[in-house]
Amino acid sequence: MDVMKSFSLEGRVALVTGAAYGIGFAIAEALAGAGAKIVFNCRSQENLDKALADYKAKGIDARGYIADVTKEDEVAELVAKIKKELGGVDILVNNAGIIKRIPMTEMSAEEFRQVVDIDLIGPFICAKAVIPGMIEKGHGKIINICSMMSELGRETVSAYAAAKGGLKMLTRNICSEYGGANIQCNGIGPGYIATPQTAPLRERQSDGSRHPFDQFIVAKTPAGRWGTPEDLMGPAVFLASDASDFVNGHVLYVDGGILAYIGKQP
């Protein structure tokens, strides 16, 4: 067996939701580097145009479409277009997501539903849309972007933790239901990742000291640093490739060891 060849994604079509920037963009870049054809979605033309330019700058011939992952009809239309133009989805990465940091007693039911709609119901809708085509092809890979909050709770993230905990169980259930069709559904659980969205939490204070949250995360991480989007590239390629054909229903936590570590005594 050629082990390195088993990591190749040549000829595969990968749909990465919400891959206009950040973690999704890095994962799409990694899959493209392994040979996959990249398709992604955005909810606005402005974000789509910017993302297409960013992919082009990286030398990636990605295709982007307007689609909302919470709308079944829009997702069905997107998947139909991909099948017509590229031959169907081989790899689905459910990356699109949001977080609202609001104390639970101050959070409205509508705000809670919005997070669950995008972070949990969206992956359900997208997986439901691509699974029939994967069954037809005789293979498929689904990667759900979970979170450490699939395992832990924390202040102000009740909706996010509920959705990501549910996404972990959806991952296991897709494995249970469709593993016999040669579909592998696994998750990636990122730790705290240094992105533009988390930049304010890493800014130096006026006295030159680290932001209190930055200090907290580094102290809680055995690796002693924040993760980077690049840290997720290898795991994504592994879970999207034939190298992971007997890995199913698993969440791979890419967190620098946080979940394994109780922390130092004060």
CB 101 within 8 A of CB 198: no
Residue type, 42: C
Mapping DSSP to helix (H, G, I), strand (E, B) and coil, where does residue 37 land? strand
Return the residue matching tokens 């991909």.
82
CA separation for the pair 159, 177 (Å, rounded): 26
Residue 55 annotated as catalytic = no
Q: Which residue among 21, 55, 65, 160 is the active-site one?
A: 160
CB 171 within 8 A of CB 249: yes
CB 130 within 8 A of CB 183: no
Query: Closest by alpha carbon to 187, among 204, 198, 196, 174?
Result: 174
Catalytic residues: 160
